[in-house]
Amino acid sequence: MDIDILPTPVTEIVADQPLRVLMLAETCNPSWPSLPLLAYRLARELSTQVELVVATQIRNRPAIEQEGLGRAEVLYFDTENIAAPLTRLGSWLRGGKDIGWTLQVLIDYPSHLAFERAVWQRFKTDLRQGRFDLVHRFTPMTPPIPSYMASKCPIPLVLGPLNGGLPWPRQFTQELKRERESLTYLREAYRLFPYYRATYKRPQTILAAHAHTIKDLPAGSRAKVINFPDTGYDPNLFPMVDRQPGGPMTILFAGRLVPYKQPAVVLQAIAHSPLLQQHRLVVIGDGPERPRLEQIIQDYKLEHCVELLRSVPYADFARVMQQADIFAFPSIRELGGNVILEAMAVGLTCVVVDYGGPGTFIDADRGVKIPMGDVHHLIQAYQRTLEDLVSHPDKVAHLGRAAHDHVLRYYSWQARSRKMLEIYHWTLGRSDTKPDYWQQPALGPQS
């Protein structure tokens, strides 16, 4: 049953009164990488600009209470009786935690509904009585997970940023099988899920991270879609450093060692290049591809120029990046890629495959994009590109500086929260101009 949205009358708005926002962030954790950390960082920054209440899952409580969440009020919801068994089931069916993510999304669907139902039961009276100006369903970010709250919410709702809908590249069907992602062929079935129609009909604003995500959304919802990246970084944690020219360069790969990230491409490029073997490659990460990488290093006798490390604590990650010069990241289906932003932030020249998220971060004036192709094409292209870069240190320095300037302007948490505040105002009818993320924010001081 449809519920009419109750708009905020423009005449009742007090200009200097902070917005009252209820944020649904089921996944929000400063100790976990990727999405949980992104949600935590943005919520903490937003808490300085709005009156923020964050609803999150009980499993995030220890980490949030240890670190704090700025000025936000945090309420924890215990749905572990549903979520925990489904997580264990998904891990067992997937054969681990590193592959088969589409299957996990499907299995987790009931736990997301249970969480939002619990939040609705707790806040439905407050929402109906006007305690909040709007609701922001921030996580999960996966488009196939419909929102229970969207079907109930009586006030303006912001959804996203969403990120998904990127087709698997046809050149890598074997990697698809190794990732156990065959369910991607049935992905469209999510449109039959309960609450799907309300999820994309009811929100006033839908944030989508990339063009491939916007294209995947229902056509009728696109007028209220705003391109808004799902990634960000803290300039204080990832500062730019000046690198001294001269001497061998360090090339870095960092990420989960899984088939779609293609870490072996960089190793093979090094293996076939006497020039690159005069420099240094550092590979950081863990995962099922590690034995394969170890075998390549042994077969090509690369021990003198390749260092294969285990995962590095997040607190030490910036320091490791600052000691490198080039970030080589040949992932062939990266929805986002926050690690690329962090590499750009410290001034690394990034070499990425021009597909999905990485292709939106990099341009010719701030890095190198490799056209998509099969694995042999990627190995050859990475070899040529890396040979060119190590032969032109001035070019590396220039591209790294430009990369830093770009991410500082558009991807710092301060810049993102200012733009989010602008979006909130537009959602509430306080601004007639639809926000454009790639223009300077209209609200707040400029960096």
- The pTM for the full model equals 0.85
Residue 222: what pLDDT? 86
Please give the angle made by the CA atoms of 335, 338 and 341, to the nearest 5 degrees: 125
Instruction: Place 175 in a pLDDT band, splitting at 50, 70 and 90.
Output: low
Mean pLDDT of the chain: 87
pLDDT tens-digit map of 314-364 = 878 899 999 999 999 999 988 888 999 999 999 999 999 999 889 899 999
160 — alpha (psi -120 to 50), left (phi > 0) or beta?
left
Residue 336: what pLDDT? 82
Least confident segment among 189-198, 254-263, 404-413: 189-198
Q: Which residues contact 427 (CB under 8 A, 6 or more apart)?
A: 134, 156, 158, 204, 205
Closest by CA to 369, choosing from 322, 327, 397, is 327
pLDDT tens-digit map of 256-307 = 999 899 999 999 999 999 999 999 999 999 999 999 999 999 999 999 999 9
Q: What percent of the chain has pLDDT over 90?
A: 64
Residue 13: what pLDDT? 40
pLDDT surpasses 60 at 89:
yes
b/e map 208-222, b = 16+ CB within 10 Å: bbbebbbebbeeebe
Instruction: Place 22 in a pLDDT band, splitting at 50, 70 and 90.
Output: very high
| Three-class SS state of 351 | strand
User: Mean pLDDT over residues 30-42, rounded?
Assistant: 90
* Lookup: tokens for 120: 């609705």
Tracing tokens 């970010």 back to the chain, one arrives at: 141
pLDDT surpasses 50 at 447:
no
Tracing tokens 């109930």 back to the chain, one arrives at: 152
| Other CB atoms within 10 A of residue 440 CB | 12
* Lookup: tokens for 48: 């300085």
Taken in order of first residue, the domains within the chain and their CATH numbers are 10-232+412-427 (3.40.50.2000), 250-409 (3.40.50.2000)
Instruction: Place 236 in a pLDDT band, splitting at 50, 70 and 90.
Output: very high
Beta strand extents in 302-432 (DSSP E only): 306-309, 326-329, 349-353, 368-370
Q: Which residues contact 189 (CB under 8 A, 6 or more apart)?
A: none
Residue 96: what pLDDT? 60
Distance CA 222, CA 193 (A): 20
pLDDT surpasses 80 at 87:
no
pLDDT surpasses 70 at 408:
yes
pLDDT tens-digit map of 121-141 = 999 999 999 999 999 999 988
Q: What is the DSSP string of 96-163?
A: SSSS-HHHHHHHHHHHHHHHHHHHHHHHHHHHHTT--SEEEEEE---TTS--TGGGT--S-EEEEEE-
Residue 8: what pLDDT? 38
pLDDT tens-digit map of 362-387 = 999 999 999 999 999 999 999 999 99
Residue 446: what pLDDT? 40
Q: What percent of the chain has pLDDT over 70?
A: 87
* Lookup: tokens for 441: 């924010």
pLDDT surpasses 70 at 23:
yes
Please give the angle made by the CA atoms of 88, 93 and 97, to the nearest 5 degrees: 65
Q: What is the DSSP string of 416-429?
A: HHHHHHHHHHHHTT
pLDDT surpasses 50 at 193:
yes
Residue 398: what pLDDT? 96
160 close to 141: Cβ distance less than 8 angstroms: yes
